Amino acid sequence: MRRSTTIPLISRQQQVDSLLRATERAASGQPGLVLVGGDAGVGKTRLISHLAQAAKQVGASPVVVHCVDLGQVGIPYLPFTDALTQLQAGAAGPEAAARVAGLVTERPALWRLLEPGGGGSAEHDERLQLFEGIARSLGEAGEPGRPVLLIVEDVHWADSSTRDVLRFLAVRARSENLLVVATYRSDDVDRRHPLRPLLAELSRLDHVERIDLEPFDESELREFTTALAGGPLSAGEFAGVLDRSEGNAFFAEELLDAGPEPGALPWTLTEVLRTRLEKLDPQVQQVVRLASVAGRRVREDLLRAAAAERDPAAGIDAALREAVVQQVLVVSGGNLEFRHALLAEVLYADLLPGERSEMHRAFLAALARKGPDGTPLGGAAERAHHAFEAHDLPAALLASHEAALAARGLLAPEEELRHREQVLAVWESVPEAETLVGMDRADVAVAAGEAAAKAGHPGRAVRLTRRAVDELAGDRARRAALQHVLVRRQLDLPDWGEHPEDSATELRSALDVLPDASADRVWSDALLARIAMEMDLDDEAREQAERAAEGARALGEHGALAEALATLAILDVGDADKAARLLDDACTAAVRAGDILTEMRCLYNVAANRFYAGHLDDAEQKVGHGLARAEELGLTWSFYAVSLRILHEIMLYFRGDLTPRPVSDVPPTSVQVLDAVGMYAAVARGDADVLARGQALLAHWREDGMIALIGGGCLVDALTWAGRYDEALSLAERVTEHLVGVWNELFLGGIWLSGLAIAALADAADADRSSGRAGGNGAAAREQAAADRLERGDGLLDLARTTAQRGRPRGGVLGPEGSAWLQRAAAENARLHAVIGDARPRTDTADAPDGVPAPEALWRAAADAWQETVKAFDFGYRYEVARSRYRWAEALLGAGEREAARTAAAQALAEASDMGAVPLVEAVRALGKRARLDLPGVRRATASTLTVREEEVLTLVAQGLSNRQIGERLYISTKTVSVHVSNVMAKLGASGRAEAVSLAHRRGLLEV
């Protein structure tokens, strides 16, 4: 039987053409990324192998690299290290090799990456430089007409750092002669897989294309099996292959190769692979079993060295050659790889436990051997993997420690954390552990905690650091010296604010032990100042921070100085210029100290200072700088980097950008808070799943007060849009009660929640009025329901005003956003009074009874409040401007000012339509339809004998509304409604309202 590699590519022409067109675009300076997904065995490798050959014929330079599955151990940037190595070796020609070599020489981050085992210093090798170096090298290797085609196989196994580089290449693509093709197993990428959000994110870029490779259909499979077998299969044989392979090319090929007799055909692919492997010579079987221990792909020199470790006298040349001839292994550059990853997996799964351990020991010994250039055959991460699987715990501990140091040097905190946790896992089983790694277990736990903090796992950071503190129970001085490190990690916990006094107590206890004029003491003072500030003990906080700053300057402890200055800046936020100077000094000190976590806190505070002061343009620049710095430092998911992301999403929403932006590789600790902040735009867009998303966040409120505030508040808004007013009110009360327990009774977010709750009350009253329910069947019930709603609304408005006055915003002045929300709460309450009838429509606020201004005046003030923020600052809140104008138009109609109402409604509709705020668009159009306002998309032609207004009246008659209720809905008098009803009955020939509705339904004049 022929092999698939020896026959022309079957089908897939559409995909090949698409890939070649992308290659041509890259040749003309239009770089791109193509994501090729498909189930294992569907033919991805065969497709890209064909592509590499075809692209080479049209002048492209294909470079094929792979991601490797090493279980829980990852090798940062492995495929890109391989790509640069191939380019330096001439994969794109000698001139390109020279250009790439020159770049590597000029950039320390690149040549450190290419050093055996990675390595480098976190102080000098910044992540952005590494990313830019990789991108520049790949871009420089291509030239017009001769693009580089970088094929990255198996990205479902990619480590976090490799995924970051892929994202960087996609986002920063400009005019390089480069096409990146990445393949992945779609059946491995489930909902929780870290690659999935990256695929979603990249797919939204214009220059990114996705190709989903489907199994063969029946005709394609018939063509495929005919080519393999050299002729058509019998009907029975083909039916068996079709049924068992389900169109998977690899499965089908293996089934054919296993033999034609039905009894010999295995029922699972595993059995098929075993059957085929059993045909090999025993020595060949041993070699490929050994190869499977390395995964799908193994360097030939490493495999030979591992075989020699097992049996120095045995030669494997003949066995390797036979394995290649039999297409079990294929040659790929200087490497050997299994023709399909499943083959390696089946072989590895069949190894006996003792046999598996012995083979891993062989690889472990082989990795320590020196190659022709005098460097070891493998790095620390590979040695750690094989040592663990070989149960050589001392070797595993040492290799994991070295791998952690290498990951730290490459600014890959996720990988560093995994390696350090592996060190801790085996520590007690290795008596000489402290001697091997040169540090004790407490130091390892502290380093692991720092890596966890950098990687965005605050809970793990605290647990690991607490472990170190507990290790030192008998060493009072050293324990005290570590206490501020533990508290610093605790400050990153979302729920830390529930019990700040615990951290304060721990620090005070440490200060009783720590010597004067010590670095640990000034750090403890600086953190105690921050905690006192969070507890609203500003005088104590200022005194403590100034003491810490003075001590830090005397000792040259710049990290603690940055911490203290950042706290002083927040205390002095009322003096914007002074606060800005303090924050700049804090950032400078943090950079000087090389304290990247404190630097990120300072960068966040700089951005937040500008944001809450209402200077959105400046804040956006600061956020952009902070996020870029986080990327450079490998702190993408650290606490303050996530806080900057939240701020960035909020600012985009304020600007009216409602575009959904899925984020890749989000650690579990940040998923829910980012989902919550995404609710702002989701509610405004009217996403179909927004209620389900908000309800899914309810279980996570205790994890982070911001999840409760943002997710809960947005869900209140969504429930109100959905007409579920009682649920919205109940939820608003529940959120408020929860956050009072988490923060305090006068948290400033309560102003927003109060405004949303009053809006739900007003909408509920309006819905009852329109439907004729008005709160009950009897007059007494209606009166009581109205009184209850007014009492709740007035109480909520009083709470909002009290919060604004006593909620103590930093600097003593409520920011522009809080002021505008307070104005909207007042307008919503006036609407509630107007709907219920407690106040008749007025244009002069002085005439309002009981101190309730006319709603149109307050809505004008609310719209102006959002607009004034644009004029006074640069803090536009586009969505709320449009929503306030909609309510203003509604109130103007109630006051009889139709032209002013039309203008306000038209402005609201234009803004809402441009943003894609669907619920708001529909609400404005419904208002325009009821009031017969001339708005885009509102007026409609009718083919019936009824006018537009008569159809509107008849629709409300069909809902059972009285003439008075119809008049209130359509902003016309009861007498005018009566005239329209009489005209409708006359035109339809009906004797009554019920008959008119029935006739209209039969004639198709009413929407059902």
Q: What is the pLDDT of residue 72?
A: 56
Concatenated DSSP letters for 865-902? Answer: HHHHHHHHSS---HHHHHHHHHHHHHHHHHTT-HHHHH
Strands 335-338 and 297-299: antiparallel
Residues 6+ apart with CB under 8 A from 518: 555
Strands 208-213 and 335-338: unpaired
Cα dihedral 37/43/47/48 (nearest 10)? 60
Cα angle, residue 627 at apex, residues 626 and 633 outer, rounded to 5°: 90
* Phi-psi region at 850: left, alpha or beta (left = phi > 0; alpha = psi -120 to 50): left
Compute CA distances 505 → 459, 512, 531, whole Å.
Answer: 20, 11, 10
Q: What is the pLDDT of residue 934?
A: 85
Report the C-alpha gap between 920 and 486 in whole angstroms. 48
Report the C-alpha gap between 468 and 479 in whole angstroms. 9
Helix (H, G, I), strand (E, B) or coil at 185: strand
Helix (H, G, I), strand (E, B) or coil at 290: helix
Report the C-alpha gap between 102 and 111 in whole angstroms. 10
Single out the residue of 200, 225, 218 nearest to residue 210, CA to CA.
200
Q: Which 3-state string (H, E, C) describes 478-515?
A: HHHHHHHHHHHHHCCCCCHHHCHHHHHHHHHHHHCCCC
How many other β-carbons are positioned within 10 Å of the β-carbon of residue 897?
Answer: 17
Residues 6+ apart with CB under 8 A from 998: 990
Strands 335-338 and 32-38: unpaired
| Residue whose pair of structure tokens reads 């480098």 in the numeric block | 120
Q: What is the pLDDT of residue 947?
A: 77
Contact criterion met (CB below 8 Å) for 274 and 351: no
Which pairs count as long-range contacts for 991-999, CB under 8 Å and 24+ apart, including other chains?
Answer: 993/957, 996/954, 996/957, 997/954, 997/957, 997/958
Compute CA distances 905 → 81, 656, 681, 718, 885, whole Å.
Answer: 59, 18, 21, 22, 7
Cα dihedral 8/83/32/161 (nearest 10)? 120
Q: What is the pLDDT of residue 279?
A: 76
- The helix (run of H) or strand (run of E) holding residue 38 is strand 32-38
For the entire predicted model, the pTM comes to: 0.74
| pLDDT tens per residue, range 966-1003 | 887 887 888 888 988 988 888 787 888 888 887 777 66
Give the chain's residues under pLDDT 70: 1, 71-74, 116-125, 244, 259-269, 271-273, 276, 497, 770-779, 808-813, 838-853, 868-876, 939-945, 1002-1004, 1007-1008
Cα angle, residue 417 at apex, residues 593 and 193 outer, rounded to 5°: 125
Ranges assigned E (strand) in 148-243? 148-153, 178-185, 208-213
Q: Is 782 exposed, middle or buried (0-12, 13-18, 19+ CB in 10 A)?
A: middle
Report the C-alpha gap between 139 and 148 in whole angstroms. 8
Residues 6+ apart with CB under 8 A from 668: none
Q: What is the pLDDT of residue 875?
A: 58
Contact criterion met (CB below 8 Å) for 10 and 220: yes
Compute CA distances 326 → 252, 276, 321, 338, 667, whole Å.
Answer: 17, 10, 9, 11, 44
